[in-house]
């Protein structure tokens, strides 16, 4: 009897280990390579973004709604590998769109557990596509890269990663500055959808000039040119992404497959019974330029516009103050409010002159970096019909530094040498790796409270970094503790 019981227990343990070895959790997927080795691949942070947080954004609440005529089914149809291959081949693309096990894993993420998020992002793309395509076209970058912010930020313009990368395109501070984005105590252009899109398009163009391959350019966008160069060296000089794949950081191994999967799902959502949210084109917005400091509170009082809408239309201003005295700055407003601003311009200037920047500080902006599940200010895409004016003014501004495009090869080479100490890559990637190593496997009987005490943190912090709403946790699951 004892021997039989021992065999049963041993069998259960064997099955449990086998299941765990192939278990995909919230933060990683597991695949088996050609040699039968288990590989763990980090999931881009945006793919863990809670859709409930997205739907609380200003423009989501104002301009997006469930479509009463189309309901997303809970079931995802099964298709053959050849069907996936054929669909990817039919996409108009310059960036190669191969199909393999890793790509399939990411497609499944979007079409199964991420169905609700895909519905949101399909509607949000209606707002952002004109901006993305115009910026990419300006720098000669393939238009299918308009889906890169799906991977980077989940199309949340207020997204801030654990490492401090911000905006739709997830720029770190120093890289953003190198590409013309102002980041100081008052302004953060990384949150400006137009300016950040042009900066991202220029950066991608520069990286392609260095590597001559779009997969490698995307990998370098994620982890930095030097990490890609190091992987090429370790792979014996190969410049094929899938050959150097195993030598890249864990997050970057999933980055290109996630991009391919995003292209797939944003085009073939109907085949997977996913419905886009219904979007209504908002009232267009216009822009006024100011050369003095103006407070949002004053604009709100004189123009009859809510602070929430002002912040949504102007997400780049960090302290509810437009610091026009530093350099001429734009304020986006609905057309009727522009007229009110013009009529009351002098009064607005006079009243704003008595306001100091410290009176308008948004303290939440300077707290510790927050995960995607905690959006900060939102951005309303009611700017869509005013973008032509914004493009013109922004193109003129970029024209002043046009030589940077002509010298992009040398610039990207310098980035490759300098990325260790600054920029988008070194800080972000190393931070992700550090966080990933500080995870534990939940044991039977452990609770959030006991784990918080054990690892010197709080229950609230554990809930925050793991996207947990309640207190229920399951033995065998991984939990981030820092």
pLDDT tens string 187-216: 999 999 999 999 999 999 999 999 999 999
Q: What are residue 326's phi and psi, to 5 degrees?
A: -75, -45
Q: How confident is the model at residue 141 (pLDDT cuts 50, 70, 90)?
A: very high
When pLDDT is averaged across residues 311-325 and rounded to a whole number, the result is 92
Q: Return the closest-CA partner of residue 158 out of 322, 314, 17.
A: 314
Query: What pLDDT was estimated at residue 33?
Result: 67
Q: In whole angstroms, what is the distance from residue 142 CA to residue 133 CA?
A: 9
Query: What pLDDT was estimated at residue 154?
Result: 92
0.85 surpassed by pTM: no
Q: Which of 251-260, 374-383, 423-432 has the highest mean pLDDT?
A: 251-260
Listed range (13-22, 234-243, 423-432) with the worst mean pLDDT: 13-22
Query: What pLDDT was estimated at residue 34?
Result: 64
Query: What pLDDT was estimated at residue 76?
Result: 85
Long-range Cβ contacts of 351-356 (<8 Å, 24+ apart): 351/295, 351/298, 351/301, 351/302, 352/292, 352/293, 352/294, 352/295, 352/298, 353/292, 353/293, 355/293, 355/295, 355/297, 355/298, 355/321
pLDDT in tens, 434-456: 444 578 888 877 787 778 777 77
Average pLDDT over the chain reads 79
Q: How confident is the model at residue 100 (pLDDT cuts 50, 70, 90)?
A: very high
Q: For residue 32, give both structure tokens.
A: 């088996």
User: Is 147's pLDDT higher than 80?
Assistant: yes
When pLDDT is averaged across residues 358-386 and rounded to a whole number, the result is 37
Q: For residue 89, give both structure tokens.
A: 């081949």
When pLDDT is averaged across residues 367-380 and rounded to a whole number, the result is 31
Q: In whole angstroms, what is the distance from residue 32 CA to residue 52 CA?
A: 33
The CA-based diameter of the chain, rounded to the nearest angstrom, is 93
Q: Return the closest-CA partner of residue 192 out of 323, 287, 317.
A: 317
pLDDT in tens, 112-121: 989 999 999 9
User: Is 266's pLDDT higher than 90?
Assistant: yes
pLDDT in tens, 211-237: 999 999 999 999 999 999 999 999 999
Instruction: Spell out the SS3 assignment of the chain.
Output: CHHHHHHHHHHHHHHHHHHHHCCCCCCEEEEECCCCCEEEEECCHHHHCCHHHHCCCHHHHHHEECCCCCCCCCCCCCCCHHHHHHHHHHCCCCCCCCCCHHHHHHHHHHHHHCHHHHHHHHHHHHHHHHHHHHHHHHCCCCHHHHHHHHHHHCCCCCCECCCCCECCCCECHHHHHHCCCCECCCEEHHHCHHHHHHHHHHHHHHHHHHHCCHHHHHHHHHHCHHHHHHHHHHCCCCCCHHHHHHHCCHHHHCHHHHHHHHHHHHHCCHHHCCCCCEECCCCCCEEEEECCEEEHHHHHHHHCCCHHHHHHHCCCECCCEEECCCCCEEEEECHHHHHHHHHCHHHHHHHHCCCCHHHHCCHHHHCCCCCCCCCCCCCCHHHHHHHHHHHHHHHHHHHCCCHHHHCHHHHHHHHHHHCCCCHHHHHHHHHHHHHHHCEEECCCCCCHHHHHHHCCCCHHHHHHHHCCCCCCCCCCCEEECC
Give the count of beta carbons closer than 10 Å to the beta carbon of residue 81.
Answer: 11
pLDDT in tens, 125-140: 988 999 999 999 999 9
């Amino acid at each position: 009897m004892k021997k039989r019981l021992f065999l049963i227990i041993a069998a259960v343990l064997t099955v449990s280990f086998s299941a765990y070895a192939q278990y995909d959790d919230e933060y990683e997927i597991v695949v088996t390579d050609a040699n039968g080795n288990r590989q763990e691949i980090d999931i881009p942070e945006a793919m863990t973004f809670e859709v409930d947080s997205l739907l609380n954004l200003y423009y989501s609440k104002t301009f997006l709604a469930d479509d009463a005529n189309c309901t997303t089914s809970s079931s995802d149809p099964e298709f053959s590998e050849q069907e996936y291959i054929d669909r990817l081949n039919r996409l108009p693309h310059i960036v190669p769109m191969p199909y393999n096990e890793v790509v399939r894993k990411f497609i499944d993420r979007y079409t199964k557990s991420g169905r609700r998020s895909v519905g949101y992002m399909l509607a949000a793309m209606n707002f952002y596509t004109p901006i993305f395509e115009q910026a990419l076209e300006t720098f000669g970058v393939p238009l299918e890269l308009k889906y890169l912010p799906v991977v980077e930020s989940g199309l949340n313009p207020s997204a801030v990663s654990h490492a401090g990368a911000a905006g739709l395109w997830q720029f770190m501070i120093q890289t953003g500055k190198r590409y013309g984005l102002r980041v100081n105590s008052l302004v953060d252009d990384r949150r400006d959808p137009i300016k950040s899109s042009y900066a991202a398009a220029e950066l991608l163009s520069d990286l392609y000039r260095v590597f001559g391959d779009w997969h490698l350019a995307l990998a370098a966008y994620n982890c930095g040119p030097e990490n890609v160069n190091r992987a090429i060296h370790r792979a014996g000089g190969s410049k094929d992404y899938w050959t150097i794949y195993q030598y890249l950081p864990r997050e970057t191994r999933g980055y290109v497959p996630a991009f391919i999967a995003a292209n797939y799902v944003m085009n073939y959502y109907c085949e997977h019974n996913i419905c886009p949210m219904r979007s209504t084109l908002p009232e267009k917005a216009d822009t006024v330029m100011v050369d003095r400091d103006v407070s949002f509170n004053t604009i709100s009082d004189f123009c009859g516009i809510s602070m929430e809408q002002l912040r949504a239309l102007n997400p780049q201003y960090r302290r509810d103050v437009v610091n026009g005295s530093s350099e001429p700055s734009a304020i986006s407003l609905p057309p009727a409010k522009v007229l009110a601003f013009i009529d009351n311009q002098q009064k607005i200037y006079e009243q704003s002159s008595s306001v100091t920047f410290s009176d308008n500080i948004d303290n939440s902006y300077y707290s510790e970096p927050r995960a995607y599940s905690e959006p900060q200010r939102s951005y309303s895409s009611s700017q869509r019909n005013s973008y032509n004016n914004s493009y013109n003014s922004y193109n003129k501004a970029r024209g002043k530094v046009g030589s940077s495009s002509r010298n992009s090869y040398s610039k990207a080479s310098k980035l490759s040498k300098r990325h260790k100490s600054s920029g988008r890559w070194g800080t972000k990637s190393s931070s992700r790796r550090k966080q990933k190593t500080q995870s534990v496997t939940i044991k039977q009987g452990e609770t959030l409270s006991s784990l918080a005490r054990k690892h010197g943190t709080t229950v609230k912090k554990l809930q925050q970094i793991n996207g947990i709403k309640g207190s229920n946790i399951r033995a065998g699951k991984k939990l981030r503790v820092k």
